[in-house]
C-alpha cells in the first residue's frame, strides 16, 4: 500500500514546555486514530515534523497544523509517496535537535528556506537510524 510522507517546518508561537507536551499528546492521540506515524523536532525557534500514513489523513493533518495558531510560517518542505515508514512504531516521536540540525543562527539566516527535499528527509533518516550524539558528517545539515 502506498503511503504519503510529508515534512514541514514552522516557527513556534509562544513556545514553552507545557505547549510542547500538549502538542505531543494531541499528535499521538490523533495520529494513532488515523494511522499516521512520524517524528517532531521541537525547539524554541523551529518545528520540523515528518508525517507518514494514508495520503488523505496526512493531508488533513497538515491542513489542521497549518491553521493551528501555535505555529507561524508553516512551510511544506517535501511530499512524496513511499511504501515504507521511517517511524512505523511511533505515533509521534519527539526528538531534541541534535548536532546534525541547524543552529539557531542558521535558522534565523534562512536555513529552512534553503533546505531541499534530500536535506529535510536526511534529518529524519538520521533520527530513525538512532545515530549517536556525534553522527557522521553526512547527517550534519548545517
Q: pLDDT for 80-89, tens place per residue?
A: 999 999 998 8
The string over 15-39, giving b where at least 16 C-beta atoms fall within 10 Å of a residue's C-beta and e elsewhere, is beeeebeebbeebbebbeebebbbb
The pLDDT tens digits for 56-75 are 999 999 999 999 888 889 99
- Which whole-number Å values give the CA distances from 95 to 21, 25, 92, in the listed order? 13, 14, 10
* Cβ atoms of residues 70 and 18 within 8 Å: no
Q: Alpha-carbon dihedral of residues 91, 95, 100, 104, nearest 10 degrees?
A: 120
pTM score, whole prediction: 0.83
Q: Which domains can be identified in the chain, with CATH numbers? A: 3-139 (3.30.70.100)
Q: What is the pLDDT of residue 54?
A: 96
The pLDDT tens digits for 81-140 are 999 999 988 777 766 555 457 888 988 999 888 988 888 898 888 888 875 544 444 444
Q: What is the pLDDT of residue 139?
A: 46
* Cβ atoms of residues 55 and 4 within 8 Å: yes
Amino acid at each position: 500500500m502506498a503511503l504519503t510522507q510529508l515534512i514541514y517546518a514552522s516557527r513556534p508561537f509562544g513556545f514553552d514546555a507545557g505547549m510542547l507536551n500538549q502538542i505531543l499528546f494531541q499528535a499521538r492521540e490523533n495520529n494513532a486514530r488515523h494511522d499516521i506515524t512520524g517524528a517532531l523536532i521541537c525547539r524554541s525557534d523551529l518545528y520540523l515534523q515528518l508525517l507518514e500514513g494514508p495520503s488523505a489523513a496526512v493531508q488533513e493533518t497538515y491542513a489542521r497544523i497549518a491553521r493551528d495558531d501555535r505555529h507561524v510560517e508553516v512551510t511544506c518542505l517535501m511530499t512524496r509517496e513511499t511504501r515504507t515508514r521511517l517511524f512505523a512504531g511511533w505515533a509521534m516521536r519527539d526528538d531534541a535537535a541534535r548536532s546534525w540540525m541547524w543552529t539557531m543562527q542558521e535558522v534565523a539566516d534562512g536555513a529552512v528556506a534553503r533546505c531541499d527535499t534530500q536535506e529535510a528527509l536526511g534529518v529524519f533518516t538520521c533520527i530513525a537510524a538512532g545515530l549517536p550524539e556525534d553522527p557522521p558528517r553526512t547527517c550534519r545539515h548545517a
